[in-house]
Amino acid sequence: MKRISFLGLLLSTVMLFSYCKKSKNNDGDKPFISMKINGVDWYDNKNVVIGSSAAGGTYNVTIMGRDDDFGAEASSFSAIFSRDADITTGTYNFTSSGDGATVTKVNGKTYLMTGTTSGASFTLTITGVSGTGSVRKLRGTFSGVLRGPTAGDNIIITNGQFSGY
């Protein structure tokens, strides 16, 4: 009888911990950024900055994070863009010189895209906006091709997701 009780307790404990353990890409209300870089998972839910601001008739969005264990180094990601109209849900193609996306420490190199970088592209879709003013939170998806330090040295970003809420 003691053996059955012990096994029942052990099984209950294992099930409890399995149930409570969150997957890498399911953090509930915690801000996160995730993507695949050339098919390799990149993820951050600790160093995330996702926000929007407005000043002088210009509306800005900043999305930044750092995967502390991507490959052998800490890799950072940022996407920044500005528009003359309020930024709401919708798709934003990075086509102006003020738009930019960067990934560092991929094979020891930095990859980037500005609205005028030849051979590069970046699209960000905002699927949700919560709050107003300085407490505005965003969520959405992104993808693109970022260019490395030499011609033809590109990375492909797929399955990009972000959420500030």
Q: What is the pLDDT of residues 68-111, one digit of tens each?
A: 989 778 999 999 999 999 999 999 999 988 899 999 999 899 99
- Please indicate, yes or no, if residue 3 is contained in any of the structural domains: no
Mean pLDDT of the chain: 84
Report yes or no on 13 lying in a domain.
no
Q: Judge whether residue 138 has pLDDT over 80.
A: yes
Burial of residue 138 (number of CB atoms within 10 Å: 0-12, 13-18, 19+): buried
How many structural domains comprise the chain?
1
Share of the chain above pLDDT 70, in %: 83
Coil/strand/helix, residue 135 = helix
Residue 66 lies in a domain: yes
Residue 5 domain-assigned (yes or no): no
**Lookup result for tokens 């970088």:** 117
pLDDT for 23 equals 40
Which residues does residue 123 pair with via DSSP β-bridges, in sequence order? 93, 143
Task: Give Cβ neighbours of residue 146 (< 8 Å, ≥ 6 apart).
Answer: 101, 102, 103, 111, 112, 113, 120, 122, 154, 155, 157
Q: Is the pTM of this model over 0.85?
A: no
Instruction: Please report which confidence band the pLDDT of residue 28 belongs to, taking 50, 70 and 90 as the band edges.
Output: low
CA torsion angle 18 19 21 22 (round to 10): 140
Residue type, 128: G
Domain ranges, residue 110:
27-163
Q: Cα 15 from chain centroid? A: 31
Position 4 in a domain: no
